[in-house]
Amino acid sequence: SRLPKAVYPLIETSQKLAIDYNIVFPTDLLTMGLHPQSDLEVAVAYAYNYWMTERVLRYDDSIKAMLYLPFSDANACLNIVKEFGNKKGVVGFLVTSVRYQPIYHNSYMPVYKALEEMGLPLGFHTVSYWMERPFQQFNRFLSAHALGFPLYNMIQLTNLVINGIPERFPDLKFIFIEAGVSWIPFVMMRLDTDYLYRQSDAPLLTKKPSEYIKNFYFTSQPLEHTDNLDHLQSIFNMFDAENQLLYASDYPHQDFDTPSSIYDLPFLSEKAKRKILGENALKLFNIKDPVLWAAKRRNEARKLVRE
Q: What pLDDT is attached to residue 11?
A: 77
Q: Burial level of 118, CB count in 10 A (0-12/13-18/19+)?
A: middle
- Cis check for the bond before 252: say yes or no (omega within 30 of 0): yes
**Residue in 25, 65, 98, 1 with CA at minimum distance from that of residue 251:** 25
What confidence tens digit (pLDDT) does each residue in 212-254 have? 999 999 999 999 999 999 999 999 999 999 999 999 998 878 8
Q: How confident is the model at residue 118 (pLDDT cuts 50, 70, 90)?
A: very high
Residue 59 vs residue 239, higher pLDDT? 239
Question: What does 15-33 look like in DSSP terms, one character per residue?
Answer: HHTT---EEE--GGGTTGG
Spatial contact of 273 and 242, defined as CB atoms under 8 Å apart: no
CA separation for the pair 60, 248 (Å, rounded): 20
Query: Quick one: which H or E segment has residue 49?
Result: helix 38-51
Instruction: Cite the beta strand spans of 169-257 per DSSP E.
Output: 174-177, 217-219, 245-246
Spatial contact of 290 and 298, defined as CB atoms under 8 Å apart: no
CA separation for the pair 105, 125 (Å, rounded): 19
Spatial contact of 67 and 90, defined as CB atoms under 8 Å apart: yes
CA separation for the pair 260, 281 (Å, rounded): 17
The winner for highest mean pLDDT among 24-38, 151-165, 247-261 is 151-165
Please say if the pLDDT value at position 288 is more than 90: no
